[in-house]
Amino acid sequence: MAYEPRHMKWWGWGYEDAEFRASRHPGFWPFAKSVLDIENDDFPRREWSLHSVALPEARVDEPFLTRLRACLAPGQVTNEAKERVIHSYGKGFRDLFRLRHGIATGAPDLIVYPESERDVCLTLRAAVERDIVLIPFGGGSNIAGCLERMDPGRMCVSLDMRRMRRVLAVDRRSFTAQIEAGVFGPDLEQQLSAHGMTLGHFPDSFLHSTLGGWLATRSAGMQSDKYGKIEDMVIAVRMVTPEGVLETRVVPKASNGIDVNHLCVGSEGMLGVITEATMRVHAFPESRQVRGYLFPEFEGGMEAIYECANQECMPAMVRLNDPDKTALSLAFRPLPSGFTKIASSLFKTYLRVKGFAQPRACLMLIAFEGNERGVSRRLQQAETIYRKRGAVGLGASAGKSFEATKYDFPHIRDFLLDRNVTTDVSETATVWGNIATLYHDTISVLREEISKSGVRPWAGCHVSHTYPCGASLYFTFGFRQRPGHELEQYLQVKRAVQQSFIDHGATLSHHHAVGTEHLPWLAADISPIGVQAISAIKQRLDPVNIMNPGRLLPSSTPFEDWLALGSPLRRTEKSAQH
Amino acid sequence: MAYEPRHMKWWGWGYEDAEFRASRHPGFWPFAKSVLDIENDDFPRREWSLHSVALPEARVDEPFLTRLRACLAPGQVTNEAKERVIHSYGKGFRDLFRLRHGIATGAPDLIVYPESERDVCLTLRAAVERDIVLIPFGGGSNIAGCLERMDPGRMCVSLDMRRMRRVLAVDRRSFTAQIEAGVFGPDLEQQLSAHGMTLGHFPDSFLHSTLGGWLATRSAGMQSDKYGKIEDMVIAVRMVTPEGVLETRVVPKASNGIDVNHLCVGSEGMLGVITEATMRVHAFPESRQVRGYLFPEFEGGMEAIYECANQECMPAMVRLNDPDKTALSLAFRPLPSGFTKIASSLFKTYLRVKGFAQPRACLMLIAFEGNERGVSRRLQQAETIYRKRGAVGLGASAGKSFEATKYDFPHIRDFLLDRNVTTDVSETATVWGNIATLYHDTISVLREEISKSGVRPWAGCHVSHTYPCGASLYFTFGFRQRPGHELEQYLQVKRAVQQSFIDHGATLSHHHAVGTEHLPWLAADISPIGVQAISAIKQRLDPVNIMNPGRLLPSSTPFEDWLALGSPLRRTEKSAQH
């Protein structure tokens, strides 16, 4: 029997039985109310029922279904209502907002669970013949709109890859592992750990995302500073396209023309289905040290990261929060025990004495991994640099607390959505020489743009991934919704922040993919000729355009199309208004 | 006045005034004679005259020429005989053999020296209009046939990029440099050193190759173990294609769909002309230590490299020679001074006492770079590992001697060609788990295949670039020519060694590109669908097929076409025979 990780709840992040519990984080809601200027406290608990979702009638292509049924087991093909709703969208703001308002126009007509590459090939072949759209689906955690169905005129199948979850082979001598693409993070790490290995890829979505999804979106894990982004870990891939299987060799590096591995990575399902990959893996590190520090200000923290990058003591993970994100992180802390409370209040006094101004203090979390000696040497070196910048160590306990809750953060959004607050994130990357300007200008843009809708803005940022040449800046923002104008309000802010990235020479995303949310800026980022090249590959490998149509190819009116997404709802908004 | 590095001699490697002088390497010719079974010592010194080259009449498209002359300076356009011969080919065995036999069918009809991206654009535009072939030319050092003219039916222009040689900007804070593509290695390093920076890219061809060439062929420098291959150093590129300029942003990493930087890198001139790139650069290392060691056998040496890779003490450079390549290296040593002679003979005695069997001993050269402390720590760690494998240190003097002669090796080939000996190289990469088998089998294949032509085989190998997952194996081979059958003999051997790579799951090349020499194996390496994808990009960005036609797209009869290259000469061979 195939292992089946549970689906996430359709109305939010995480499993149905997991959610943000305000009682465990007593500081959070008061914090949110204060920074977002919320007076009301009376939000009824919503019970989510599938009956509230208007599921469009499923298109059925009988010859297609007959062919699938002839070669797949009954449990591999379904059009159950709940499955259709779950596979409607990813987990972006627009996705959740629509489902929570009963809109599931993105629902696929059928869900297929392949259990082998053969199943994938058969499905593709039948789909080509019957002109049926296929959208590869991993964990469904994407927040950029990569799973958005763009072609309502054709039958659409969600190809849920989760049953292709085996680690097929581990070459312990070469530190490579051949892995099926549908495996989820925890399952993969468990299988690799049986060989003493780890992939070292821990994105925030780790619990709910798959290898194939990471590859298709050029994901980055928390420890990318040491292990690289997912594209740096790929040794070889297999991708089933409508024209045949693209496959590459298990070699560390090559000079064999244009590197076609890089045509698969980042292809967002528009060329084919990544069925497996051979990845670089690592011996389980002997030592792992996670630490927290408080810097007197953001600039000094960035300077410290920069120095570490240049002095051969870059941690495996660095997360430096700006003052607002620091305040959010502190407010998010779980209920402290009696002793921790006292210790924490003593610490506050200590910080006051040291001259730390709370509104400017910045929390940094780092992790070092490797052999004992190397870790302790680099940690020491880094701490010397941090201290020079006035940092105060919060010790290993801050690290432990981070480790314990590191995957919980996305739950906050559901909690806030229940309270009519919109939150979202936009992240980018730039070189060190540009980072301070990009940071300050984008925070300003965010605040201004949110303010325009007449509500109090909240915007924070953290440095999330660092490189010798630069770093990723990860912005988080939130604001009270203007009832009846929620999507408009969101789009206005999202557009402003993305435009700020592009205007400042940064990229549209460092690790969240293009999807629908960032598509209008693609040509600005990679140049129109870059888009032309992608379009050419698409036409050749998928001439009938069945693979996740609409990805990576902006229309001639990208912003109009972008604004129109979720338009049924926006019509509702308007009618509510008049 | 534009700086103009000199061209290499048309009949061999290096400048006209540089060559291998047997008198300075007294051990070499006796060694070669012995291993190659050469009795004759009477090879007349050849004087190379352009008059011996049958240069085909230059095709002239008057409207094209008129347009070029209207917008370029007179010194930027030439069809002088010597320039045409120099730009005929790269420096592969077939290239040199043909020119030395008076065949220059590959000669371009015109050479254009652009001095700006504007010049490149103008030339491309005119070429598109007049259906004229353009072959981007850097230093002309390529040995895989990347510069081979494949379309004799159309006028052909060699686009020599050497005047676009400026470092346009160095961002010292971000460790990036924006560089024009035509700059040669030494010139680039000199310009960067004014900013205290280095690119860290030192291929064997360093003196005679350009940034654009490195990018177009996915080159690897000697110190790739630390700095990466050229594709790992690219931050952004500008490539002029017939359809417009492909340009990417100066960001350390991104998730903006398919990474179009990787469409330019490795494109071998078939999509457009790389005019500039923003590269990651490094502060000039505080310390550089180069050392030599002698290992009792090859396997132990490989094991030591492997252990270093896994214990965080991988050198910036490792070159481990197998026994045959070691013997060659030792024979290649320059004339020793009196003192060195005595020291060296003492050392030989020492090695005998230590039980080193000369025929199995293996020379390894390594370099560590970085800050003083880090270098000395890693060097110490590495030496512990080496000693465990029985290695004997040859000290810094072996390192110095390597440094002094590291770019001289290619001169040997000319010396041997003058003596009717064919030598060539084939290199590949594979994972650690496969490396021993690949090595032993390929050496056997080489020896067998050479023997088939009735001459004594010589084949050696060195590990040239290492990675956590595997390494590159670099084979060198040589044999006496069968008069009148030189190309046949070469092709038979070359074919066997490349086939061995592919049969063993390795790649067609680690850093020499596809060109014509490796083209028949491209579909086996990257799969037919991979080739299809490249073909699609080609058709879109270069719809009239003017950019270096024939690259990266194997014909339907790849081996026939491959064998036919240089066919005029082979007809001569045959007529000589009958």
Chain B residues in contact with A254 (beta carbon < 8 A): 218, 429, 507-510, 525
Cα separation, B560 vs B450, in Å, equals 21
Cα separation, B270 vs B516, in Å, equals 13
- The pLDDT, as a whole number, for residue B339 is 56
Taking the CA of residue A217 and the nearest CA in chain B, the distance in Å comes to 7
- Partner-chain contact A541 B533, CB within 8 Å: yes
Chain A residues in contact with B381 (beta carbon < 8 A): none
DSSP 8-state code for residue A512? S
Determine contact, residues B288/B354, Cβ cutoff 8 Å: no
Chain A residues in contact with B267 (beta carbon < 8 A): 257-258
Determine contact, residues B205/B146, Cβ cutoff 8 Å: no
Taking the CA of residue B455 and the nearest CA in chain A, the distance in Å comes to 32
- Short-list A124, A130, A85, CA closest to A108: A85
- The pLDDT, as a whole number, for residue A95 is 96
Taking the CA of residue B575 and the nearest CA in chain A, the distance in Å comes to 36
Mutate to test the interface with B, among A197, A253, A519, A547 (most CBs of B within 10 A): A253
Q: What is the pLDDT of residues A466-480, one digit of tens each?
A: 999 999 999 999 999
- The pLDDT, as a whole number, for residue B578 is 41
- The pLDDT, as a whole number, for residue B576 is 47
CA-nearest residue to B229 within chain A is A253
B302: its two tokens: 């490989």
Cα separation, B84 vs B107, in Å, equals 5
Chain A residues in contact with B540 (beta carbon < 8 A): 532-533, 535-536
Burial of A404 (0-12, 13-18, 19+ CB in 10 A): exposed
Chain B residues in contact with A471 (beta carbon < 8 A): 252
- Partner-chain contact B527 A469, CB within 8 Å: no
Q: Which amino acid is at A90?
A: G
CA-nearest residue to B281 within chain A is A469
Q: According to the per-residue pLDDT averaged within each range, which of A338-347, A404-413, B293-302, B327-336 is highest?
A: B293-302
Dihedral sign, CA of B513, B519, B522, B525? negative
> Does the pLDDT of residue A3 top 70, yes or no?
no
Cα separation, B13 vs B412, in Å, equals 9
Mutate to test the interface with A, among B251, B274, B509 (most CBs of A within 10 A): B251
Taking the CA of residue B54 and the nearest CA in chain A, the distance in Å comes to 32
Confidence of residue A108 (pLDDT cuts 50, 70, 90): very high
Cα separation, A203 vs A177, in Å, equals 19
Taking the CA of residue B415 and the nearest CA in chain A, the distance in Å comes to 28
DSSP 8-state code for residue B103? B
Confidence of residue B568 (pLDDT cuts 50, 70, 90): low
Chain A residues in contact with B231 (beta carbon < 8 A): 259
Q: What is the pLDDT of residues B496-524, one digit of tens each?
A: 999 999 999 999 999 999 999 999 999 99
Span A165-171, average pLDDT: 98
Taking the CA of residue A314 and the nearest CA in chain B, the distance in Å comes to 14
Cα separation, B472 vs B433, in Å, equals 13
> Does the pLDDT of residue B573 top 80, yes or no?
no
Determine contact, residues B305/B318, Cβ cutoff 8 Å: yes
- Partner-chain contact A534 B265, CB within 8 Å: no
Nearest to A253 among B250, B467, B522 (CB): B467
Half-sphere exposure of A325 (CA within 13 A, CB side): 25
- Partner-chain contact A250 B505, CB within 8 Å: yes
In the three-class reduction of DSSP (H, G, I as helix; E, B as strand; rest coil), residue B475 is classed as strand
Confidence of residue A357 (pLDDT cuts 50, 70, 90): low
> Does the pLDDT of residue A354 top 90, yes or no?
no
Nearest to A251 among B260, B430, B534 (CB): B430
Q: What is the pLDDT of residues A42-80, one digit of tens each?
A: 888 888 999 999 999 999 999 999 999 999 999 999 999
- The pLDDT, as a whole number, for residue A1 is 41
Cα separation, A465 vs A220, in Å, equals 8
Half-sphere exposure of A490 (CA within 13 A, CB side): 29
Chain B residues in contact with A372 (beta carbon < 8 A): none
Helix spans in A155-243 (H)? 185-193, 211-217, 224-227, 230-233
> Does the pLDDT of residue A540 top 80, yes or no?
yes
Nearest to A468 among B229, B280, B370 (CB): B280
Cα separation, A333 vs A336, in Å, equals 8
| Marked catalytic residue, from A293, A407, A439, A474 | A474
Dihedral sign, CA of A529, A535, A539, A541? positive
Nearest to A510 among B253, B509, B534 (CB): B253
- Partner-chain contact B529 A245, CB within 8 Å: yes
From A195-204, A524-533, B357-366, the region with the lowest mean pLDDT: B357-366
- The pLDDT, as a whole number, for residue A458 is 98
Within 10 A of A568 (CB to CB), how many other CB atoms are there? 14
> Does the pLDDT of residue B571 top 60, yes or no?
no
Nearest to A431 among B174, B246, B262 (CB): B174
Q: Rounded to the nearest 5°, which phi and psi values hold at A569?
A: -70, -40
Q: Euclidean distance between the first and final Cα of chain A, in Å?
A: 55
Span B222-250, average pLDDT: 96
DSSP 8-state code for residue A103? B
Half-sphere exposure of A405 (CA within 13 A, CB side): 21
pTM: 0.96
Work out the percent of chain B whose per-residue pLDDT is above 90. Answer: 85
Nearest to A254 among B171, B253, B509 (CB): B509
- Short-list A236, A232, A256, CA closest to A245: A236
Confidence of residue B42 (pLDDT cuts 50, 70, 90): confident
Look at A342 and B527; give whichever has higher pLDDT.
B527
- The pLDDT, as a whole number, for residue A348 is 73
CA-nearest residue to A279 within chain B is B469
Nearest to B509 among A256, A265, A527 (CB): A256
Mutate to test the interface with B, among A117, A238, A251 (most CBs of B within 10 A): A251
Burial of A102 (0-12, 13-18, 19+ CB in 10 A): middle
- The pLDDT, as a whole number, for residue B265 is 98
- Partner-chain contact B256 A508, CB within 8 Å: yes
Span B169-182, average pLDDT: 98
Taking the CA of residue A312 and the nearest CA in chain B, the distance in Å comes to 8
Mutate to test the interface with B, among A176, A235, A256, A380 (most CBs of B within 10 A): A256
Inter-chain Cβ pairs, chain A and chain B, closer than 8 A: 303
- Partner-chain contact A429 B231, CB within 8 Å: no
Q: Rounded to the nearest 5°, which phi and psi values hold at B279?
A: -115, 150
Cα separation, A577 vs A574, in Å, equals 5
Span B167-181, average pLDDT: 98
- Partner-chain contact B433 A235, CB within 8 Å: no
Taking the CA of residue A29 and the nearest CA in chain B, the distance in Å comes to 33
- Partner-chain contact A374 B518, CB within 8 Å: no
- Partner-chain contact B505 A249, CB within 8 Å: yes
- The pLDDT, as a whole number, for residue B338 is 59
Q: What is the pLDDT of residues B344-375, one digit of tens each?
A: 666 676 677 666 766 789 999 999 999 999 99
Look at A38 and A401; give whichever has higher pLDDT.
A38
- The pLDDT, as a whole number, for residue A343 is 60
Chain A residues in contact with B470 (beta carbon < 8 A): 174, 251-252
E runs forming strands in A378-438: 392-394, 421-431
> Does the pLDDT of residue B300 top 70, yes or no?
yes
Chain A residues in contact with B512 (beta carbon < 8 A): 255
Cα separation, A375 vs A367, in Å, equals 9
- The pLDDT, as a whole number, for residue A402 is 87
Positions of B annotated as catalytic residues are 474
Mutate to test the interface with A, among B255, B259, B381, B501 (most CBs of A within 10 A): B255
Chain B residues in contact with A384 (beta carbon < 8 A): none
